A = this chain, B = another copy of it.
Amino acid sequence: MNRQWLYAKQPQGKIAPDTFQWTETAIPAPREGEALVRTRMLSLDPANRAWMMGKTYRDALEPGQVMSGFAIGEVVESKSGGLKAGDIVEGDWGWQDYAAMPARRLTKRTIKAPFELLIGPLSITGLTAYFGLLNIGQPKPGDTVLVSAAAGAVGTMAGQIAKLAGCRVIGTAGGQDKCDWLVRDLGFDAAVDYKAGGVYRALKAVCPNGIDVYFDNTGGPVLDAALSLMNLRGRIVCCGNVSQYDVEKPAPGPVAVPGLVVTKRLRLEGFVVMDFFDQRAEAEAKLARWVEEGKIKAIVDIVDGLDKAPQALIGLFEGRNKGKMAIRI
């Protein structure tokens, strides 16, 4: 039996249990050039929600499809020369136990690490933090780096990589608990609870020398505040807009664009992690070494059971997770 979650209907406002529909079907047989994979872990990401809103860097989700999602699994049977049973692969085959996937849409993982690390810290989320911060943000030692959604999958990695780069690192997160944890456990220099209000004043107090690099996972009020605090020639890494994914009506855009962008000579630049996959092997090896040496803590938040996926994704938008959220199957 192949258990699946379908994307049932476009949410109006927040996603809810009825955004998804459970179904069971036969395990597919791989065709020529395909491999049958068994899912071991499903990655839950803010992007899952963004795909429901329209075309992004990929086509929009259509009701009736298997819910899309990045996953890691094991090849059960292969009809492709490049893959064999037992290989560990990743790809976007969505919320189901099994999938018959064209081999070209699967990436073989060769690095030895537990699935908990392969699903995020040593894959998409770790690489997103790595390339976004280093290639786009270009921090210099001594720079002040702000990371929003700092307790999240990408944020925990970006903040720690910025510390390794010799920067003073500030995070924003929802709730004082998470903020305390960022400072105490992950080595952030300070953290600001964006839910407490007054985010501009709070950030100003902990960024006495302004902000040189802002790693923006959220857009919204933290982006507004950051724009006002950016230093001359500051870089804003546009990684995500999670404050606006799960809402009915988008907030107004940042008033400081383009005014302060001109006068402060700021650079805002968007990216998608795949843009840098020519440098993936080197980045992955570095991340793996940092994690192994304890220089970076890989924070994962694992939920057991495919049946829990909708509630877990809803929880992600309620800010219930710390670090990378994934479903173990």
**CB <8 Å contact, A263 and B259:** no
**CB <8 Å contact, B258 and A219:** yes
A256–B223 CA distance with the chains assembled, in angstroms:
13
Interface assignment of A244: CB less than 8 Å from any CB of chain B? yes
Name A241's closest neighbour in chain B (CB-CB).
Answer: B259
A114–B283 CA distance with the chains assembled, in angstroms:
56
Shortest beta-carbon distance, A53 to chain B, in Å? 9
Interface assignment of A269: CB less than 8 Å from any CB of chain B? yes
User: Which of B259, B263, B265, B271 interacts with A265 by CB under 8 Å?
Assistant: B271
A314–B228 CA distance with the chains assembled, in angstroms:
29
User: Which of B256, B263, B271 interacts with A253 by CB under 8 Å?
Assistant: B256
CB interface residues, A 241-266, toward B, < 8 Å = 241, 244, 250-266
Interface assignment of A73: CB less than 8 Å from any CB of chain B? no
Name A254's closest neighbour in chain B (CB-CB).
Answer: B253
A57–B275 CA distance with the chains assembled, in angstroms:
34
Interface assignment of A28: CB less than 8 Å from any CB of chain B? no
Task: Return chain B residues, CB-CB under 8 Å to A240.
Answer: 258, 262
Shortest beta-carbon distance, A162 to chain B, in Å? 19
**CB <8 Å contact, A241 and B258:** yes
Name A251's closest neighbour in chain B (CB-CB).
Answer: B255
CB interface residues, A 97-155, toward B, < 8 Å = none
**CB <8 Å contact, B258 and A265:** no
Q: A252-B253, A252-B255, A267-B268 are in contact. Are A239 and B262 (CB under 8 A)?
A: yes
**CB <8 Å contact, A259 and B271:** no
- The contact sample of 14 A-B pairs, CB cut-off 8 A, is A50-B263, A219-B257, A238-B257, A240-B258, A241-B258, A250-B255, A262-B270, A262-B272, A263-B272, A264-B270, A265-B271, A266-B269, A267-B268, A269-B269
